[in-house]
Chains A and B, each alone.
Chain A
């Protein structure tokens, strides 16, 4: 991995980062990637048992898109965490 790769990753991940830190990341990743590469030694096929991975208890849970809870106080609390608001709306910078 080169610094150019790290630059690309930081841009994909939307993280502002100094060149110095990117250099450090190139160095830090090397032993980690070498370590995780161990799994390439394994060629075995996965067994047929537990085909669902044992997650027999997990099902997709869907519901109608209906308001379940119209708690005005909670709405206020949620909006209180928003960096920029206008009235009851979240304010976002113009994108077009």
Chain B
């Protein structure tokens, strides 16, 4: 009997290719785990009823010899990514019965390769949260310690892979919503450069920040998924044309920066900082030069984020009006249809952020908050770009603390928001970043190293990431 726990894409592909394993056996392995674990973990909101068709399609692709690495690979999809004919609720009552009428760009790509969609995963409502506790459909638990959160907002996608309920998954992030849950569940989570993966068919949150990202067990796995979905799409106006993605003069000096001042400023747990320093030593052993760099402006990242994001949220979520789709409450007049539908359809955190955004964009505050934040965002971006003249990448912990208990931060929004402090710079500056497992503490809770690279230099992240993985094993 082959051990299917902790499979990688390439290993699964090899087994399928050599007929040591059938697609059906592979899928059944995950379905069995779902049967025994999902009721408790709540990674999935729904297991799809058309998995059988997916299996047949994958078998057909194999029999035709047209298979790719992703053919027959079971994947979990976050509930804000549209799959034609399936509900996509963004874990909100507002969209509880909303059935997608088309495929998102990413699911269309994955379908073409014969990847198998297992189900849709739980998330913070409309991707607003860092613990998957704001979902309208119950919390998700961390498979590594069920008393703790799996992170968020893509907590269901993280828990599905960490609990061996899917081989890989897709999440989305506006500020760390892929990297942070990956960090909390011992996985690799990756946020690509802005504009590399189409958002066509993704339920919008903060459009200048949103990006789809994969989660898996290894750097190589997220690289494979990224290569499949990172193509130009004319239906997303921010999608970068394929020819503009090819860079000349790809410098790689094996030199990594540490923004030391930023690290020490964020209320970081001492354990996390100690682990981070050990990670620097591991990278040195792998042949990298590690230098401290000066990026004082990074400390403003989360402030800028908590202005720009709610502003964009309040605009994006204006579309839910109870008229064209989504929850609709009957009322005597149109205005009350709006206010009642939105009052009931949106959960507390979503309402909070819409109001915050409305405040920030309102007359008298627009300049002081929104315009100022746009200016500082540009300064952050410039400073990050400038730092890359000296180093190939910079590293920080992925999250300032270890996975916290369910309920621990739920009633204190600001303390919850601070878990994104190391995530914000990459989203604000449009650059790629990756979270990689970096060992565990004495209680088995995972540490995570974050690497951030220049715009469109995903290759640097994958290279450093793989070297780090290898050196960890050799240590």
Contact A14 B328 (CB under 8 A): no
**Per-residue contact bits, chain B 297-327, to A (CB 8 Å; 1 contact, 0 not):** 1011011101100000010000001111110
Contact A61 B237 (CB under 8 A): yes
- Known contacts A50-B382, A81-B98; decide if A39 and B300 are in contact (CB<8 Å): yes
Contacts of B300 in A (CB 8 A): 38-39, 42
Contact B303 A35 (CB under 8 A): yes
Kindly state whether residue B240 has any CB partner on chain A within 8 Å. yes
Chain A interface bracket (under 10, 10 to 19, 20 to 34, 35 or more): 35 or more
Contact B101 A74 (CB under 8 A): yes
Contacts of B297 in A (CB 8 A): 42
Dominant secondary structure of chain B at its interface with chain A? helix
**Per-residue contact bits, chain B 125-168, to A (CB 8 Å; 1 contact, 0 not):** 00000000000000000000000000000000000000000000
Contact B338 A14 (CB under 8 A): yes
Contacts of B413 in A (CB 8 A): 28, 31-32
Contact B346 A15 (CB under 8 A): yes
**Per-residue contact bits, chain B 329-349, to A (CB 8 Å; 1 contact, 0 not):** 000011111111011101010
Contact B343 A36 (CB under 8 A): no
Rounded to whole Å, the gap between the CB of A93 and the closest CB of chain B is: 4
Contact A40 B368 (CB under 8 A): yes
Closest residue of A by beta carbon distance from B299: A38
Contact B359 A81 (CB under 8 A): no
Which of B24-32, B108-116, B373-381, B435-443 lies on the face that meets chain A?
A: B373-381
Contacts of B385 in A (CB 8 A): 49-50, 54
Chain B interface bracket (under 10, 10 to 19, 20 to 34, 35 or more): 35 or more
Alpha-carbon separation in the docked complex, A32 to B355 (Å): 13
Which residue of B238, B356, B372, B414 contacts A40 across the interface (Cβ within 8 Å)?
Answer: B372
Contacts of B314 in A (CB 8 A): 13
Contact A16 B343 (CB under 8 A): yes
Contact A36 B381 (CB under 8 A): no
Contact B372 A39 (CB under 8 A): yes
Kindly state whether residue A67 has any CB partner on chain B within 8 Å. no
Contact A12 B101 (CB under 8 A): no
CB-CB contacts below 8 Å: A66-94 with B = 74, 77-78, 80-84, 90, 92-94
Alpha-carbon separation in the docked complex, A31 to B342 (Å): 26
Contact B99 A9 (CB under 8 A): no
Which residue of A46, A49, A57, A92 contacts B195 across the interface (Cβ within 8 Å)?
Answer: A57
Rounded to whole Å, the gap between the CB of B411 and the closest CB of chain A is: 9
Contact A83 B372 (CB under 8 A): no
Contacts of A36 in B (CB 8 A): 303-304, 306-307, 369, 373
Contact A17 B381 (CB under 8 A): no
Which residue of A35, A38, A83 contacts B328 across the interface (Cβ within 8 Å)?
Answer: A83
Rounded to whole Å, the gap between the CB of B70 and the closest CB of chain A is: 26
Contact A82 B324 (CB under 8 A): yes
Alpha-carbon separation in the docked complex, A37 to B300 (Å): 10
Which among B307, B340, B355, B455 has the highest number of chain A CB atoms within 10 Å?
B355
Contact A13 B238 (CB under 8 A): no
Contacts of A80 in B (CB 8 A): 99
Which residue of A15, A29, A57 contacts B354 across the interface (Cβ within 8 Å)?
Answer: A15
Contact A13 B355 (CB under 8 A): yes
Closest residue of B by beta carbon distance from A28: B413
Rounded to whole Å, the gap between the CB of B13 and the closest CB of chain A is: 33
Contact A32 B382 (CB under 8 A): no
Contact A15 B241 (CB under 8 A): no
Kindly state whether residue B102 has any CB partner on chain A within 8 Å. yes
CB-CB contacts below 8 Å: A18-58 with B = 21, 25, 28-29, 31-32, 35-40, 42, 44, 46-47, 49-50, 53-55, 57-58
Contact B342 A15 (CB under 8 A): yes
Contact B323 A90 (CB under 8 A): yes
Contact B368 A46 (CB under 8 A): no
Alpha-carbon separation in the docked complex, A30 to B324 (Å): 35
**Which residues in A have some Cβ–Cβ distance to B below 8 Å?**
1, 5-6, 9-10, 12-17, 21, 25, 28-29, 31-32, 35-40, 42, 44, 46-47, 49-50, 53-55, 57-61, 74, 77-78, 80-84, 90, 92-95
Q: A36-B306, A77-B101, A83-B325 are in contact. List 11 more A-B contacts (CB 8 A).
A: A1-B359, A9-B362, A14-B338, A25-B355, A29-B356, A35-B414, A36-B303, A39-B304, A42-B300, A53-B378, A54-B430
8 residue pairs bridging A and B, Cβ less than 8 Å apart: A13-B355, A15-B342, A36-B303, A38-B299, A42-B376, A46-B378, A82-B325, A83-B322
**Which residues in B have some Cβ–Cβ distance to A below 8 Å?**
85, 97-99, 101-102, 195, 234, 237-238, 240-241, 244, 297, 299-300, 302-304, 306-307, 314, 321-326, 328, 333-340, 342-344, 346, 348, 351-352, 354-356, 358-359, 362, 368-369, 372-373, 375-376, 378-379, 381-382, 385, 413-414, 417, 430, 455
